[in-house]
Amino acid sequence: SSCSIQPLSPGRARDSFPSIARVIVNPAVRICAAGTACLIFLPQTLPHWWLASLVSHFLLHLGLTAGFLCAIALYRKLLLTALGCAASIGFAAFLLVTTPVLEPIDGRGVTLVSQNLAAWNRRRSPAVDMLLREAPDIVVLQEYTPRWHDALESVRNPYPHQVQVAGRGAFGIAFLSRYPFFRSSHFRIGHRQRAVIDVEIGAPAFAGRLLAVHFDTPTSREEFAVQDQELGELAAYVDQLSEDFLIVGDFNNTPYAPNFRRFLADTGLSISSPVWLATWPAALDILG
C-alpha cells in the first residue's frame, strides 16, 4: 500500500482548529457579563439579605465592569451579551439618577466639616492642619478618642460651644460650634447603643436641628442587622421633628444600598454630595 502526505494550506489549517477567541474569550465574556448582571440586580431583588446588600455598595465598580464587557462583546459580535451588559449599565444609571440629592445653595451660609478621624490613625497633623485651614463654623468629628481630644486642642479653642460624647471603641463623637446652642442632648440607638448628638442652633443662615451620627459597618449578618436597626430608629426619631434639620456624620453606607435608600424614602431626606462621590478609602478616590 502507499500513501501520500500533502501539506495543508494556511487557510485550511486555521479552519481545522477552533480559535482561542471562540473557545476561551467568548464564553468568558458571557459568563462575566451574566455574573456582573446578577451582582447589579441581586441587591434590589433581595434587599434584606446582608450579602446582597454588601454587594450593592460596589455599584459603580460593577457598572464600569459591565461597560468594559459590553465593549468586548460588541467587538466579538456577541450581540445578546452586549444587550445584557447595556441593560445592566442602564439599571445602574437608573439607581444613580434616582438618588435624591440636595441642590447646591448659592451664597455663603453655615460652613460645616464632618470628619472621621480614624481612631487608629497616628498621623494627626493632616487632620489638624485641614481643620485649622478650613476654619468652618461647625465641626462634627467621628471616632473621637481621648488621644484625638488632646491632639485637637488648637482646633477646639476657637469654638466656645462643644458637645463630646464617648462611645465604645471608635464610636465617640464630638460637635464643635461657633454658634450658641438653644439646647443640646444626645440619645442612643440600636442594641449597641451608638450615640446620636442632637443640637439646636440659631445661626444667621440656618436655624434648626443638627444630628451627628456614626453607624456600624454592615460587613456581616449581625452587623447588617445592627445597622438596619439604627437606620430604623433614627428614621422614627426624625419623623417627630417639626424643625428643619440636617443629619451629619458617618453612616458607613452608600446611596446604592437598599436599606439606605429605604431610609431616604421613609424620611424624605436627600444627600448633600454627588451620588458617585466616594470617601473611603480616600486613596482610591472615585474607586473607593
Alpha-carbon gap, residue 214 to 101, rounded angstroms: 20
Residue 4: per-residue pLDDT: 63
Amino acid (1-letter code) at residue 227: Q
Alpha-carbon gap, residue 142 to 249, rounded angstroms: 7
Alpha-carbon gap, residue 259 to 274, rounded angstroms: 19
Residue 89 has pLDDT above 90, yes or no: yes
Given a contact cutoff of 8 angstroms between Cβ atoms, the answer to whether 60 and 108 are in contact is no
Alpha-carbon gap, residue 53 to 261, rounded angstroms: 11
Please report which helix (H) or strand (E) contains residue 207, including its range. Answer: strand 206-214
Give tens-digit pLDDT for 121-141.
889 999 999 999 999 999 999
Q: How does residue 7 score in pLDDT terms, banded at 50, 70 and 90?
A: low
Residue with cell 463623637: 173
Length of the chain: 288
Give tens-digit pLDDT for 226-271.
999 999 999 999 999 988 899 999 999 998 999 999 999 999 999 9
Alpha-carbon gap, residue 80 to 84, rounded angstroms: 6
| Mean residue pLDDT across the chain | 89
Residues 112-117, mean pLDDT to the nearest whole number:
93
pTM of the predicted model as reported, rounded to 2 decimal places: 0.85
Residues 4-30, mean pLDDT to the nearest whole number:
68
Q: DSSP E strands: which ranges in 117-177?
A: 138-142, 161-165, 173-177
Residue 159 has pLDDT above 60, yes or no: yes
Residue 79: per-residue pLDDT: 95
Residue 18 has pLDDT above 90, yes or no: no
Residues 215/216/222/225 CA torsion (nearest 10 deg): 20
Give tens-digit pLDDT for 27-82.
999 999 999 999 999 999 999 999 999 999 999 999 999 999 999 999 999 999 99
Residue 16 has pLDDT above 60, yes or no: no
Residue 17 has pLDDT above 70, yes or no: no
Residue 270: per-residue pLDDT: 93
Residues 14-23, mean pLDDT to the nearest whole number:
64
Residue 170 has pLDDT above 70, yes or no: yes
Check the CA dihedral 149-153-154-157 and report its sign: positive
